[in-house]
């Protein structure tokens, strides 16, 4: 028999027992649908994290303080801060592979504006900050090098601070008080949203680092140094160059470990997505159990079908059908049933994903590759669990099959 005839026979057998076939395929439908939903959630989470990482800046490189070790016990990252303005100036003057570099002086204080007060983070930076973070100003302007040199009390508000202190109005030109120091608002930054760690990037006030250091923080060391490169391919070379410059600045011997940490967007993305990938695989593995159950259901029904159609098999063999023909016929029936269940499962998974995304606001994504894999896996389930019943049918003795009642 040719392939088309086998498929027609399989379809006829499925239509003959519609309800039983539907119940048989139910395990495959639920399994494929569940796997598709779980993978869609995981892929959506990965895409969202990647988007959040990209919103941190363009080819961003972050330098943070290192760890202090006392009595052989490490205090952890950031416990030993030797980052200084001298480090930033040395990087700015000597590094050839970076397109921008800025110190970040961080402090937290109460901001008092038109609608009340709001505790927020104050970042003291240079004019390169908007280039490094790829952060545009939606209203007003960012401060310049003159503002930094003259330690002017000017500030640019993040979107969250602007909404909290000046709801429904443009705060540019008004005053805001930071730790009893009046600052003139010269700009408002575009909304960035949450970072990959869940913090609100817009809950911040940006000001010249000279002003923040002298008027607000008073610290001689800085929390971090941000830098960027012209292209992603330049990041590894830039990191190594910055590492050597900082080691020289800190007078570290060849046997001394770095007292700072340099990371880029790829490191941040890998760390953030690692947990997501593990959870996605775990959820998909749990959902795949339904496919196993569906395969067992197909095997049971095919065994019942072999018993019910014993005389039919005997007649086919008596008029010239070989064992391989019978095996192929039953195997095709199992595959068609699995593929049909897989196709319905893909539809169920797609609809469920849309409903879940609209109801919860979660980010989801279904790739064509996932659909193809689901269908191929469905066919594989049909082959694996349909082979034993098909082989049992092919092994029947024609004479005994004709006598079967």
pTM for the whole thing? 0.59
Q: What pLDDT does residue 381 have?
A: 78
The tokens describing 302, both together, are 């095919």
Residues with Cβ within 8 Å of residue 261, at least 6 apart in sequence: 63, 64, 65, 66, 77
- The answer on 307 and 203 residing in a single domain is no
User: Which residue, 217, 237, 257, sits at the end of a domain?
Assistant: 217
Q: Which residues pair with 173 in a beta bridge?
A: none
Q: Kindly report, residue by residue over 244-285, the tens digit of the pLDDT.
A: 999 999 999 888 889 899 988 766 556 555 656 666 676 667
288 part of a folded domain: yes
Domain count, the chain: 2
181 part of a folded domain: yes
- The answer on 121 and 43 residing in a single domain is no
- Is the pLDDT score of 67 beyond 50? yes
82 part of a folded domain: no
Could you give the CA distance from residue 114 to residue 137 in angstroms, rounded to a whole number?
21
- What are the phi and psi torsion angles at 263 (to 5°)? -130, 155
228 part of a folded domain: no
72 band by pLDDT with thresholds 50, 70 and 90: very low
- The answer on 395 and 278 residing in a single domain is yes
Could you give the CA distance from residue 346 to residue 378 in angstroms, rounded to a whole number?
10
- The answer on 48 and 109 residing in a single domain is no
99 part of a folded domain: no
User: Which residue, 172, 202, 217, sits at the end of a domain?
Assistant: 217
79 part of a folded domain: no
399 part of a folded domain: yes
- The answer on 213 and 274 residing in a single domain is no
Percent of the chain with pLDDT over 70: 77
Q: What is the residue-wise DSSP string for 63-78?
A: EEEEEEEETTEEEEEE
Question: What number of residues does the chain have?
Answer: 405
Q: CA 244 → CA 98, 239, 386, distances in Å?
A: 14, 9, 64
Q: Are strands 181-189 and 154-157 parallel, antiparallel or unpaired?
A: parallel
Report which listed range, 204-208, 304-308, 330-334, 367-371, is most confident.
204-208
**Structural domain harbouring 193:** 105-126+133-217
User: Which residue, 217, 234, 258, sits at the end of a domain?
Assistant: 217
Could you give the CA distance from residue 225 to residue 102 in angstroms, rounded to a whole number?
6
- Is the pLDDT score of 135 beyond 60? yes
Q: Which of 307, 301, 370, 366 is nearest to 336 (CA)?
A: 301
319 part of a folded domain: yes
């Amino acid at each position: 028999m040719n392939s088309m005839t086998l498929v027609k026979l399989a379809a006829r057998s499925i239509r003959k027992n519609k309800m039983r076939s539907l119940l048989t395929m139910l395990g495959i439908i639920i399994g494929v649908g569940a796997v598709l939903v779980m993978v869609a959630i995981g892929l959506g989470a990965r895409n969202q994290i990647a988007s959040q990482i990209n919103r941190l800046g363009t080819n961003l490189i972050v330098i943070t303080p290192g760890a202090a070790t006392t009595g052989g016990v490490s205090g952890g990252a950031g416990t030993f801060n030797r980052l200084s303005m001298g480090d930033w100036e040395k990087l700015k003057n000597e590094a050839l592979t970076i397109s921008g570099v800025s110190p970040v002086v961080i402090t937290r204080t109460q901001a008092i504006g038109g609608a009340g007060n709001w505790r927020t983070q104050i970042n003291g930076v240079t004019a390169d900050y908007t280039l490094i973070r790829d952060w545009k100003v939606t209203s007003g302007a960012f401060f310049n090098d003159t503002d930094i040199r003259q330690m002017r009390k000017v500030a640019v508000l993040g979107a969250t601070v602007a909404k909290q202190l000046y709801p429904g109005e443009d705060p540019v030109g008004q005053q805001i008080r930071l730790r009893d120091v009046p600052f003139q608002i010269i700009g408002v930054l575009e909304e960035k949203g949450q970072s990959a760690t869940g913090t609100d990037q817009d809950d911040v006030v940006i000001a010249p680092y000279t002003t923040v250091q002298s008027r607000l923080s008073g610290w001689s060391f800085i929390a971090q140094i941000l830098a960027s490169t012209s292209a992603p391919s330049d990041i590894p070379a830039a990191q190594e160059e910055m590492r050597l410059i900082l080691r020289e600045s800190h007078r570290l011997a060849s046997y001394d470990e770095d007292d700072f940490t340099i990371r880029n967007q790829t490191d941040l993305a890998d760390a953030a997505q690692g947990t997501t990938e593990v959870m996605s695989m775990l959820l998909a593995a749990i959902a795949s159990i339904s496919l196993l159950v569906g395969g067992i259901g197909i095997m049971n029904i095919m065994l019942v079908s072999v018993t019910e159609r014993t005389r039919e098999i005997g007649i086919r063999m008596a008029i010239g059908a070989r064992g391989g023909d019978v095996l192929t016929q039953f195997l095709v029936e199992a595959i068609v049933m699995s593929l049909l269940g897989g196709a319905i499962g893909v539809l169920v998974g797609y609809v469920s994903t849309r409903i879940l995304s609209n109801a919860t606001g979660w980010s989801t994504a279904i790739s064509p590759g996932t659909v193809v894999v689901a269908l191929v896996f469905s066919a594989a389930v049909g082959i694996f669990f349909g082979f034993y019943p098909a082989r049992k049918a092919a092994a029947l003795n024609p004479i005994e099959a004709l006598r079967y009642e």
